C-alpha cells in the first residue's frame, strides 16, 4: 500500500503541529534525504514514499489540494490561487486579516470572534501559507499590495473594508492604505517593522542574519533551483527556534501554530530592505497622508519592534493613528495575550460606522 503523507487536509486543519521540523536546519535536498532516512529507521518502506510529492514535508498548497478553501486572483497578468477562510455574515462589513511573515492563517483563527460584527476574511498572501507558490519576481511588496486589492474586489468591491496586518503584513497593509486610501475605513497595524529604512535602522532586523541555518537557506534560494517545500520545511523549524528574537527575556519562545510558512517570501522581503550588510533606504508610507481613516498601531513590552519602537518611529508618520500597548507580551501577541488584544481591537473598531459605499 502506498504511504500517505500525514499532511492531508484533515491533518493540516485539525491535528497538533508535527514534531518532525525539530530536526536540524538543512539544505532542502538534504532535508528530504533526512526525512526519508528517519522513516527508514521507523520501518517505513522507502519504495512507498515519494519525497518530492506535495505534502511530504509540509502541507500541500491550495492549488495542489482542491479540498482547501481558496480564491482565484490575477497577479501580474497570471492567474493565481490563494488560501482563504471566511467567518460570519457576508452582508456585514469586511475585516480583512493578513497573516505575518513565516506564518499563515492558522495562528489568526482566534480573531474569528470578531465575526459577531464583521464578515471576517483571512487569506495567505501569494507565496505564503497554503497559497500557491510563486517565483521571486512575484513576491515583491507591490505584488503583495496588488493581491490585497484583488481579494478586496471579490469580497467587498463597493464597500470600504477594515484592514488588519501583523509584522511584515502590517508594512504591506500600510503601502496598500497609501495606494487605495478610499478602500479602507479603519486599519490595524500590529507591530510592523520600521516603515522607513531610517526607522528600521533603529531596531536592526530582530534577526540573527549570521545564524548558519538562515545563511544556508538564503544561499540556497539564490544560487540553486528553488525547492519551495524544502525551504518551507526549514523555515518551519527555524520559526520554533530562537533565531528570531520574538520572546521576553528569560521566557521560552512562545508557541506559534503554523501549517506552512512561505520561506522564499520572507527571504525576498528581508533581502529587499538590505544594502549589503546594512539596511537600505525604503519607505512604505509614501502617499499615506491621502488616507483619512483611523489607524491603530499595536505594540508590546518585549518585542524589539514593540511599543517603545512604534512610539518613536512609525507613530510619528502615520496620520490619525493611536497606539495600543499590550503588556507582558512579545511579537506573537495572539498566542500570548489574545484576550487583551481582542479587547483593545473591539474598543477601536467601529463596524457601525463603515460607509455603505466607497466614495463621497
Domain membership of residue 357 (yes or no) is: no
- Among candidate residues 54, 59, 45, the one with its CA nearest the CA of residue 1: 45
Which run of H or of E encompasses 321? Answer: strand 321-326
pLDDT over 90 at 274, yes or no: no
- Please report whether residue 356 resides in a domain: no
In 3D space, the residue among 284, 293, 294 whose CA is nearest the CA of residue 314 turns out to be: 284
Domain presence at residue 359: no
Please report, for residues 156, 288, 349, 355, the alpha-carbon distance to residue 360 in angstroms, rounded to integers and kept in the order given. 17, 19, 21, 9
pTM of the model as a whole: 0.84
Q: How many residues does the chain have?
A: 360
Over the stretch 121-146, which tens digit does the pLDDT of each residue have? 999 999 999 999 999 999 999 999 99
Q: Name the band, by pLDDT with cuts 50, 70 and 90, for residue 10.
A: very low
Cell (9 digits) for 194: 520600521
> By percentage, how much of the chain surpasses pLDDT 70?
76
Average pLDDT (294-300) is 98
Angle, helices 263-272/228-239, rounded to nearest 10 degrees: 80
Reported as a pLDDT band with limits 50, 70 and 90, residue 227 is confident
3-class secondary structure, 200: helix
Residue 360 lies in a domain: no
User: Across residues 269-283, what is the average pLDDT?
Assistant: 82
* Four-point Cα dihedral 334, 191, 229, 38, nearest 10: -50
Q: Is residue 45, in this structure, part of any structural domain at all?
A: yes
Query: Residue 196 is part of a domain; what is its CATH number?
Result: 3.40.50.1820
16-27 pLDDT, tens per residue? 333 333 333 444
Closest by CA position to 92, among listed 297, 359, 350: 350
Structural domain contains residue 72: yes
Does pLDDT of 241 surpass 70?
no
Q: Is residue 358 assigned to a domain?
A: no
> What is the rounded distance in angstroms from the CA atom of residue 322 to the CA atom of residue 294?
8
- Residue 226, pLDDT > 90, answer no
Average pLDDT over residues 350-354: 97
Query: Higher model confidence: residue 253 or residue 242?
Result: 253
* Residue 191: CB atoms within 10 Å: 29
**95 phi and psi, to 5 degrees?**
-105, 110
Residue-averaged pLDDT of the chain:
83
The answer as to whether 281 is a domain residue is: yes
**Residue 326, pLDDT above cutoff 70:** yes
Number of domains making up the chain:
1
Domain residue limits at 25: 1-351
Amino acid at each position: 500500500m502506498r504511504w500517505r503523507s500525514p499532511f492531508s487536509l484533515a491533518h493540516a486543519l485539525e491535528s497538533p503541529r508535527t514534531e518532525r521540523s525539530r530536526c536540524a536546519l538543512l539544505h532542502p535536498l538534504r532535508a528530504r534525504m533526512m526525512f526519508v532516512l528517519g522513516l527508514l529507521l521507523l520501518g517505513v518502506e522507502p519504495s512507498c514514499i515519494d519525497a518530492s510529492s506535495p505534502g511530504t514535508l509540509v502541507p500541500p498548497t491550495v492549488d495542489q489540494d482542491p479540498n482547501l478553501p481558496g480564491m482565484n486572483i490575477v497577479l501580474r497578468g497570471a492567474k493565481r490561487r490563494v488560501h482563504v477562510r471566511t467567518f460570519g455574515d457576508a452582508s456585514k462589513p469586511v475585516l480583512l486579516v493578513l497573516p505575518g511573515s513565516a506564518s499563515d492563517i492558522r495562528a489568526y483563527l482566534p480573531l474569528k470572534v470578531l465575526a459577531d460584527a464583521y464578515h471576517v476574511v483571512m487569506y495567505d498572501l501569494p507565496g505564503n501559507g497554503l497559497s500557491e507558490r510563486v517565483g521571486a519576481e512575484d513576491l515583491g511588496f507591490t505584488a503583495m499590495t496588488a493581491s490585497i486589492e484583488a481579494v478586496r474586489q471579490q469580497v467587498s468591491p463597493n464597500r470600504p473594508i477594515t484592514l488588519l496586518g501583523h509584522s511584515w503584513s502590517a508594512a504591506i497593509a500600510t503601502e496598500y492604505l497609501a495606494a487605495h486610501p478610499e478602500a479602507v475605513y479603519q486599519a490595524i497595524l500590529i507591530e510592523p517593522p520600521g516603515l522607513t529604512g531610517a526607522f528600521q535602522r533603529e531596531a536592526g532586523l530582530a534577526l540573527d542574519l549570521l545564524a548558519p541555518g538562515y545563511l544556508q537557506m538564503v544561499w540556497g534560494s539564490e544560487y540553486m533551483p528553488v525547492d519551495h517545500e524544502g525551504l518551507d520545511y526549514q523555515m518551519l523549524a527555524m520559526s520554533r527556534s530562537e533565531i528570531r528574537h520574538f520572546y521576553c527575556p528569560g521566557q521560552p519562545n512562545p508557541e506559534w501554530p503554523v501549517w506552512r510558512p512561505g520561506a522564499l517570501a520572507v527571504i525576498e522581503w528581508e533581502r529587499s530592505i538590505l544594502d549589503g550588510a546594512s539596511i537600505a533606504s525604503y519607505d512604505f508610507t509614501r502617499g499615506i497622508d491621502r488616507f483619512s481613516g483611523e489607524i491603530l498601531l499595536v505594540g508590546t513590552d518585549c518585542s524589539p519592534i514593540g511599543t517603545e519602537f512604534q512610539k518613536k518611529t512609525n507613530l510619528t508618520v502615520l496620520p490619525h493613528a493611536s497606539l495600543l500597548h499590550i503588556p507582558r507580551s512579545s511579537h506573537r501577541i495572539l498566542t500570548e495575550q489574545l484576550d487583551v488584544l481582542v479587547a483593545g481591537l473591539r474598543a477601536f473598531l467601529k463596524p457601525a460606522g463603515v460607509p455603505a459605499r466607497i466614495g463621497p
